Amino acid sequence: MARDMENKHVVVLGAGFGGLTFCQTFNHPQTRVTLVDRQNHHLFQPLLYQVATAGLSAPEIAQPIRSILSDRLDVTVLLDTAVDFDLADKKVYLEKSALNYDYLVLALGGVTTYFGHPEWEQFAPGLKSLDDALRIRRRVLLAFENAECEASAAGRDRLMTMIVVGGGPTGVELAGAFAELARHVLKSDFRRIDPAQARIVLIEAAPWILAHLPAELSGRAQRQLELMGVEVRTNTRVQDITRSRVELEHGQVLDAENIIWAAGVSASPLTQKLGVDLDRAGRVKVNPDLGLPGHPEVFAIGDMALVLDEGGKPVPGVSPAAMQMARHVARIVLNELAVGPEQAARPPFRYWDKGTMATIGRSAAVAKIGKLEFNGFSAWVAWLFVHLIFLIGFRNKLAVLLQWAYSYFAYKRGARIVTGLSEEKATPSP
Amino acid sequence: MARDMENKHVVVLGAGFGGLTFCQTFNHPQTRVTLVDRQNHHLFQPLLYQVATAGLSAPEIAQPIRSILSDRLDVTVLLDTAVDFDLADKKVYLEKSALNYDYLVLALGGVTTYFGHPEWEQFAPGLKSLDDALRIRRRVLLAFENAECEASAAGRDRLMTMIVVGGGPTGVELAGAFAELARHVLKSDFRRIDPAQARIVLIEAAPWILAHLPAELSGRAQRQLELMGVEVRTNTRVQDITRSRVELEHGQVLDAENIIWAAGVSASPLTQKLGVDLDRAGRVKVNPDLGLPGHPEVFAIGDMALVLDEGGKPVPGVSPAAMQMARHVARIVLNELAVGPEQAARPPFRYWDKGTMATIGRSAAVAKIGKLEFNGFSAWVAWLFVHLIFLIGFRNKLAVLLQWAYSYFAYKRGARIVTGLSEEKATPSP
């Protein structure tokens, strides 16, 4: 009984889908929760590509973490960055302070990885944060502006070429949205260039794009992208990336003002400080209950964790998986607080695959839900519906719906605004 | 007759209210127009303070210039910056190219000025562009985040103090919106600090704020601000500004993480390259028809131009004045193109004062329209209505209306998102 009345402290690192869902699920009268994130907002990452392609504004897909949790007086939110751990002493070091914990939930997500070529990052930014998205939006819109002022044909061609490396969902969504931006949204807005002549190239090393989908859906997605004017190059490996230039494996060279890297994600590098086994992508090899081997009071969830589903395959790094893991861990901790760690059972995590989908553009998508496969308009409506349902916060849902409806009917984009231009000017251009 | 058929070229510098209205009004079949701006968007400047105080997102008050003018095939929009003139040769030099003109319309607006103290700018940013607004939003939101993590009471006090220098409409609107942000919007979101304890100080050198309004309205505005918790200090001069510190004239010192400068605007420094008479604020002393003395084919409009109204007072630097000047110049040029410069009369510009207003916060404002004076809720409704009417572009109007309705009823702010944090970290903090 005495144990139950002690004040326990749960520290959660990361306010993505995993960390936030844990806080929303976990509620125990004698337990304080501290949620740490290096940003002030929770980001609806599945729509980040829409900010990068000027379809939505940054605040439409983000909500202040504190505002989401404002009625939870037991939760303290800190804007800070975790830098190290002392697992033996149950302590986590942040940049501005240190926190002791009884339970620690690691939900720091992933970072863009360049497979041993970190020098490519400066030439081919990835898309993980709002700042990434705003930078891509600024550079792509500026490329068209500069093409309108450019005297040489070769210069205009380079400015109006965009390369997306990686044919997973993010790469496919970006390539499709760029094609729409150039062919429809910007169509009538220039006098010296024709934005519809923009070249959008999607590069994928594997023989097909969207490799996680059945071959038929993947083929349909590729045909849809090609109809929209995207050059899809499968079986194509990138040899080197320098400023505005991609070299392919057989020596072919593509010049493009904008190169976007959507080819790799690995776990937050902080996993290396845990002193436990990691897989190649830096993910923590957790126990079946999502606990850290040797540290049952520490859990890793979401993109940081490697856990196998019932078929023996790794659970994918998608938001429904992170949210399911968060609820699983919340149940384990609540149960231990109720009956004591010795008495509490720790069931293994089971992933419920709700299906997978990717949107390709205006009214086209592919989706697989259970045994059902969709494509075209019906898949797009399903995609729209699922994303609106999951968008957190009423205001965002309504604003995003209106924005989409407007973009759909008027073929316009409301967020074609370049900010941070002075910052961009400081960067040397080729 | 031959003259009429020649292709003439009108160059417009600046796509603010003046430059854009000129392009929208001026339409002549044998004349090309080139509109140059260093940003890709037209900005609804009267609502800029709402972006700085997290009430609206950046794209909600901005529209791409090309998109506004996309059906005007005679107008070419260039993203470029004017750097010099050759008035004798009728040529304007841009960063990327040079343009010959038959008519030149100067509509470059104003810049923040520090009255001989340019070194204050780094510590007390002004509010003229979207980037300025996003920087202020980031720094103010971060100050509260850092206060939540701050151990020392003095540190928390400094972080939770904001100083606005200048009691004109922008300063009053900013101070009121900051007070609402702290007292209402952020109220329940912190656990270690109480945002309602934030100190907001408005400093004005003159004996009253909103000096352009009658004394009674100015007094009401001050009382309303004080009711909202703003410290209003009139008759107070700033002696010096350093990092997070303002020194007043009698040696008193105020420590504040955020200092915002709303005390002075002067014309774009480019007016110095024209070789004509300027006033103290750098404005061009134009002829009564808004033409440049000695160069009837060059006009200056909006905040760049010094022109007197019928009472002999300078026409104020507000958007209705800039738009009226733009229409006046468009009529003169159209008339000259029709009948030839020798035959065309050039009537003097007459300013029609539509009134003036300033909002103070949720449902409070002051307004003077003709002989009528309003304050409180009726002035606020008038303010809301006038600003919605003038907001350019359907989407923005609807989105802004929804955003306002939501903020009003829910006391929330939809744009409390910190972006550009990595950029901020590069700046050394005290």
Q: Which residues of A touch B417 (CB under 8 A)?
A: 40-41, 58-59, 62, 64, 130
Average pLDDT, chain A: 90
Q: Band of the pLDDT at A376, cuts 50, 70, 90? A: confident
At B424 the three-state DSSP class reads: helix
Query: Of A253, A159, A146, whose CA–CA distance to A197 is shortest?
Result: A159
Catalytic residue numbers of A, as ranges: 173
Say what the pLDDT of residue A358 is: 86
Say what the pLDDT of residue B413 is: 65
A51 touches chain B (CB under 8 A): no
Q: Which residues of A touch B53 (CB under 8 A)?
A: none
Q: What is the 8-class DSSP label of residue A107?
A: -
Give chain A's end-to-end CA distance (angstroms, integer): 69
Q: Which tens digits make up the pLDDT trace of A222-251?
A: 999 999 999 999 999 999 999 999 999 989
Say what the pLDDT of residue A109 is: 96
Smallest CA–CA separation between A239 and chain B, in Å? 30
Residues 138-157 of B with CB under 8 A from A: 141-142, 145-146, 148-149, 151
Q: Which tens digits make up the pLDDT trace of A52-75?
A: 999 888 888 888 999 999 999 999
Q: For residue B223, what are the contacts with CB-CB under 8 A and spacing of at least 6? A: none
In the sheet with B291-292, reading across from the earlier edge strand, the strands are B75-79, B31-37, B8-13, B103-106, B295-300, B291-292
Smallest CA–CA separation between A62 and chain B, in Å? 7
CB B337 within 8 A of CB B8: yes
Q: Which residues of B touch A191 (CB under 8 A)?
A: 73, 75-77
Considering the candidates B150, B173, B180, B336, report the single residue annotated as catalytic.
B173
Angle, helices A319-339 vs A17-25, to 10°: value is: 30
Q: What is the 8-class DSSP label of residue A26?
A: -
Which candidate from A66, A415, A421 shows the least CB-CB separation from B39?
A421
Q: Which tens digits make up the pLDDT trace of A125-179?
A: 999 999 999 999 999 999 999 999 999 999 999 999 999 999 999 999 999 999 9
Backbone angles phi, psi at A301, to 5 degrees: -135, 165
Distance between CA atoms of residues B40 and B131, nearest Å: 13
A122 touches chain B (CB under 8 A): no
Q: Are the beta carbons of B64 and A130 separated by less than 8 Å?
A: no
Find, in chain A, the residue whose alpha carbon is nearest to that of B423: A423
Range with the largest mean pLDDT of A160-169, B56-65, B337-346: A160-169
- Take residue A65 and report the two structure tokens written for it: 């973490």
Q: Band of the pLDDT at A361, cuts 50, 70, 90? A: confident
Q: Which tens digits make up the pLDDT trace of A190-229?
A: 999 999 999 999 999 999 999 888 899 999 999 999 999 9
Q: Band of the pLDDT at B392, cuts 50, 70, 90? A: low
- Residue B395 pLDDT > 70, yes or no? no
- Residue B416 pLDDT > 80, yes or no? no
Per the listing, tokens 């409390």 go with B416
Q: Residue A265 pairs with which residues in a beta bridge?
A: A112
Distance between CA atoms of residues B415 and A63, nearest Å: 8
Q: Are the beta carbons of A192 and B76 separated by less than 8 Å?
A: yes
**Chains A, B: CB contacts under 8 A, how many?**
149
Smallest CA–CA separation between A165 and chain B, in Å? 25
Say what the pLDDT of residue A409 is: 65
Q: Are the beta carbons of A414 and B403 separated by less than 8 Å?
A: no
Smallest CA–CA separation between A123 and chain B, in Å? 18
- Residue B3 pLDDT > 60, yes or no? no
Mean pLDDT computed over A344-363: 87
Q: Residue A357 pairs with which residues in a beta bridge?
A: A367
Find, in chain A, the residue whose alpha carbon is nearest to that of B416: A64
- Residue B4 pLDDT > 50, yes or no? no
Find, in chain B, the residue whose alpha carbon is nearest to that of A68: B189
Say what the pLDDT of residue B89 is: 98
Say what the pLDDT of residue B426 is: 44
Smallest CA–CA separation between A189 and chain B, in Å? 5
Distance between CA atoms of residues A145 and B41, nearest Å: 12
Q: Are the beta carbons of B76 and A398 separated by less than 8 Å?
A: no
Q: Are the beta carbons of B416 and A67 separated by less than 8 Å?
A: yes
Q: Which residues of B touch A188 (CB under 8 A)?
A: 70-71
- Take residue B235 and report the two structure tokens written for it: 């008759």
Find, in chain B, the residue whose alpha carbon is nearest to that of A146: B79
Q: Which tens digits make up the pLDDT trace of A394-426?
A: 556 666 677 666 666 666 666 777 777 666 654
Q: Band of the pLDDT at B1, cuts 50, 70, 90? A: very low
B424 touches chain A (CB under 8 A): no
Q: Which of A9, A40, A93 to mutate to test the interface with B (most CBs of B within 10 A)?
A: A40
Smallest CA–CA separation between B162 and chain A, in Å? 20
Backbone angles phi, psi at B366, to 5 degrees: -130, 145
Q: Which tens digits make up the pLDDT trace of B47-59?
A: 899 999 998 888 8
Mean pLDDT computed over B85-113: 97
Q: Are the beta carbons of B59 and A57 separated by less than 8 Å?
A: yes
Q: Band of the pLDDT at B387, cuts 50, 70, 90? A: confident
Mean pLDDT computed over B347-354: 92
Q: Are the beta carbons of A70 and B148 separated by less than 8 Å?
A: no
CB atoms within 10 A of CB B86: 12
Q: Which tens digits make up the pLDDT trace of B285-331?
A: 999 999 999 999 999 999 999 999 888 899 999 999 999 999 999 99
Higher-confidence residue of A230 and A368: namely A230
| Long-range CB pairs of B332-335, under 8 A, 24+ apart, other chains included | B332/B289, B332/B290, B332/B291, B332/B299, B333/B10, B333/B26, B333/B28, B333/B103, B334/B26, B334/B28
Which candidate from A67, A396, A421 shows the least CB-CB separation from B189?
A67
Residues 375-404 of A with CB under 8 A from B: 395-396, 398-399, 402-403
- Take residue A69 and report the two structure tokens written for it: 């949790």
Mean pLDDT computed over A375-404: 73
B423 touches chain A (CB under 8 A): yes
Q: Which tens digits make up the pLDDT trace of B130-166?
A: 999 999 999 999 999 999 999 999 999 999 999 999 9
Distance between CA atoms of residues A15 and A119, nearest Å: 29
> Measured between alpha carbons, how far is residue A23 from residues A7, A40, B395 in Å?
17, 16, 36
- Residue A3 pLDDT > 70, yes or no? no
Q: Are the beta carbons of A189 and B141 separated by less than 8 Å?
A: no
Say what the pLDDT of residue B226 is: 96
- Take residue A283 and report the two structure tokens written for it: 């993910």
Q: What is the 8-class DSSP label of residue B271?
A: G
Find, in chain A, the residue whose alpha carbon is nearest to that of B59: A415
A74 touches chain B (CB under 8 A): no
Say what the pLDDT of residue B417 is: 75
- Residue B76 pLDDT > 90, yes or no? yes
Q: Which tens digits make up the pLDDT trace of A73-121?
A: 999 999 999 999 999 999 999 999 999 999 999 999 999 999 999 999 9
Mean pLDDT computed over B333-349: 93
Smallest CA–CA separation between B114 and chain A, in Å? 20
The region, left, alpha or beta by phi > 0 then psi within -120 to 50, assigned to residue A371 is: alpha
B96 touches chain A (CB under 8 A): yes
